[in-house]
A = this chain, B = another copy of it.
Amino acid sequence: MSDMDAATSAAGNMAEACAARRRKVAEGMRGSGIGQIIVSAAPSVFWLTGFWTEPHERMLALYLDSSGRCVLFGNRLFQIDSAAFPFECVLHSDGEDPVEQLASVVKPGKIGIDKTWQSRFLIELMTLRPDLAPCHGSAPVDAARMRKDDVEIGLMRAASAMNDKAMAAAIGALREGMAETELAAAIVEAYTGLGADFPIGPQCVCFGENAADPHHMPAGTALKGGDCVLIDIFTPLSRYWCDMTRTVYFKGLSREEETAYEAVRAASAAAIAEIRPGVPLSRIDAAARGVIEAAGYGSRFIHRLGHGAGLECHEPPECSAASGALAEPGMVFSVEPGIYVPGSFGIRIEDLILVTEAGCEVLNHFPKEVCIIT
């Protein structure tokens, strides 16, 4: 096949995959009694159309109804090539009102709204169309996106293989006195060399007691002997995200940190051992939590066990005590138990896990044994 034939064929495959996805979503809508939805999240629009843009404050919306009708709304700046799609595209310029265009298409009654759609668009739509009854509308797309197909699984494996290499580069870059921001920049550089889609920041890098804050942003703190080093790194490759955390020790660790580390590692193993089709995600969370509670750190594991990953770094399914879902083949989510002791240290170990027919596949292969950098 020539390069041009290959490109044409890949585009054709993508168009076909998107059409199949739209049919699947329409089927899900019929099953759940939602006649029409507005999809606004860029990754969902991409998954359903093959078209990606970051709309920022401008409006991007895909209207779908359960009969299969599909209309894409977007700003002319997004450079949407209407002729490339087998459905209607309605474009607007800066200064025109895209919600008026949308309001002329929707039908009266119940309408499902994507969970992150900006409220200003929804409020304006409700004002223009008081005959609408907005409801939560992400479920049909989320449910379909959760079960990755073979192409997507291949991309998730490739992204996590890259992340294993980036983690090795990050740990190899540790030097006494370096700032967290320097390590974060080294990780971005490693990602660039490894072919990641684009340099993304800030990466999550914590030295010493900063690791006790799961939301810490890299700052000027300098690395010193005895520090734990928590490295949580994530980036897209071919649009699909990797996300992994390791905690290592610079020149040594305390007895308490070692005990806590082994509890986190055992929690990770216990959760992974539970994962197979049909198991409630809440039970996987409980498996990890039970190990950490038994080690006396229950109150220090202050977040859910994990989150789905794919076209977004955080996407459904959530793996927590509150999850109602069961594991299904094709799901990818993180398993990331942690222990956080304010003023002292933090530990997190995170892998992405693919649910398979037989059980599960851990997409990250970077070791999890205690690692002391000397």
Contacts and interface: CB of A to CB of B under 8 A. Distances in A.
A136 B113 contact: no
Contacts of A135: 123
Contacts of A192: 181-182, 184-185
A107 interface: no
Interface in A104-135: 113-120, 122-124, 126, 134-135
Interface string A181-196: 1101100110010000
A158 interface: no
Interface stretch (A51-59, A149-157, A222-230): A51-59
Contacts of A202: 197-200
Given A113-B119, A123-B134, A134-B123, A188 B213 contact: no
Interface string A165-193: 00000000000000001101100110010
Given A123-B113, A189-B185, A192-B182, A57 B314 contact: yes
A185 B199 contact: yes
A258 to B, nearest CB: 26
Nearest to A53: B215
Which of A124, A192, A199, A321 has the most CB atoms of chain B within a 10 A radius of its CB?
A199
A205 to B, nearest CB: 10
Interface stretch (A75-83, A328-336, A365-373): A75-83
Contact of A94 (B56, B124, B188, B322): B322
B116 A118 contact: yes
Given A94-B322, A116-B119, A198 B217 contact: yes
A214 interface: yes
A303 interface: yes
Interface string A206-243: 00000001110110000000000000000000000000
A304 interface: yes
A33 interface: no
Interface of A: 53-54, 56-57, 76-79, 93-95, 113-120, 122-124, 126, 134-136, 138, 181-182, 184-185, 188-189, 192, 197-203, 213-215, 217-218, 302-304, 314, 320-322
8 contacts: A94-B321, A95-B304, A123-B134, A126-B134, A181-B198, A185-B192, A198-B217, A199-B202
Which 3 pairs show the lowest CB-CB distances between chains A and B? A198-B202, A199-B201, A115-B120
